[in-house]
Amino acid sequence: MNRRTLTVLFSVAGGLLLLFVLLPLAATLISTSPAELGEALGDPEVGNSLALTLTASAIATVLVMVTGIPLAYLLARRRFPGRRLVESLIDLPIVIPHTAAGIALLMVLGSRGVVGRTLAPLGITFVDSVAGVVAAMAFVSLPYLVNLSREAFAMVDVELEQAALVDGATAWQSFRLVVLPIAWRGVVSGMLMMWARGISEFGAVIILAYHPKIVPVLIFERFQGFGLASAQPVAVLLILVVLAVFLLLRMVLLPRSSE
């Protein structure tokens, strides 16, 4: 088999996969009229739910960033006992069913959980609250931020750091002034992927914090209660908003990602 034939076969295989992704999205978008979409946009419940979804996922991303980026750097640069175990634990939220993740979070953050019981006297609750939505989104989406940041840090030449240290920079200055400016695109990519994944979360959120309703929960509720016609415009709105923001951020912040 020559190179041209292999390229054709691989192109056909890749095209089938892309078709599998595009067909459901295109069918959903085409079957929703502008009037239905406008009605969904004017629905206060939909607007509040969309704002909550985008904001809660952004908060989750920022909170995980504070601890996830340092962890990613350590995983990329240091060799220590249990490193593989740590990497496996970071990946765990991807592979476990997210309804199971919601149950696990409820056991810890619920009124009877060790964290939930401790924070309740301070007025901090996670069940049916924005804090619960943020916690569920953070749990299921944090692997994207940590893993992509780790890969970005690993690609930075160690000798550049060592040179900065030899020149008198502290370890923190070396990280902030040398490593981060080089790896920032990968870190931002991880943040973007985590934010996008948090927006789409359903299973863990519905277990821990059914209320206030994020858009995936609202879509599910309307589909169950009123059928496809009621849920479809909200689903289209979420697809359009996420697609627009996702493409904008990638074009502005990650111009080299397609090279």
Kindly tell me if the per-residue pLDDT of 258 is higher than 60: no
Check whether 198 has a pLDDT greater than 50: yes
Assess if residue 162 is contained within a domain.
Answer: yes
Here the tokens at position 228 are 């496809």
Asked if the structure places residue 123 within a domain, the reply is: yes
The average confidence (pLDDT) of the chain is 90
Confidence (pLDDT) at 257: 46
CATH number for the domain that contains residue 135 = 1.10.3720.10
Between CA 94 and CA 101 the distance in angstroms is 10
3-state SS string for 209-228: CCCCCCHHHHHHHHHHHHCH
Residue 100 lies in a domain: yes
pLDDT band for 154, please (50, 70, 90 cuts).
very high
Instruction: Let me know if residue 30 belongs to a domain.
Output: no
pLDDT at 29 over 70: yes
Mean pLDDT throughout 223-237?
A: 90
pTM: 0.87
> Is residue 38 domain-resident?
no
- Residue 175 in any domain: the answer is yes
pLDDT band at 13 (very low <50, low <70, confident <90, very high): very high
Total structural domains within the chain: 1
- pLDDT tens-digit series, residues 50-79: 999 999 999 999 999 999 999 999 999 988
Q: pLDDT tens, 72-99?
A: 999 999 888 999 999 999 999 999 999 9
**Contacts of residue 198, Cβ cutoff 8 Å, sequence gap at least 6:** 56, 57, 60, 61, 137, 138, 140, 141
The parent domain of residue 199 ranges over 55-213
Residue 134 lies inside a defined structural domain of this protein: yes
Residue 21 in any domain: the answer is no
- Cα 190 to the chain's mean position, in Å? 8
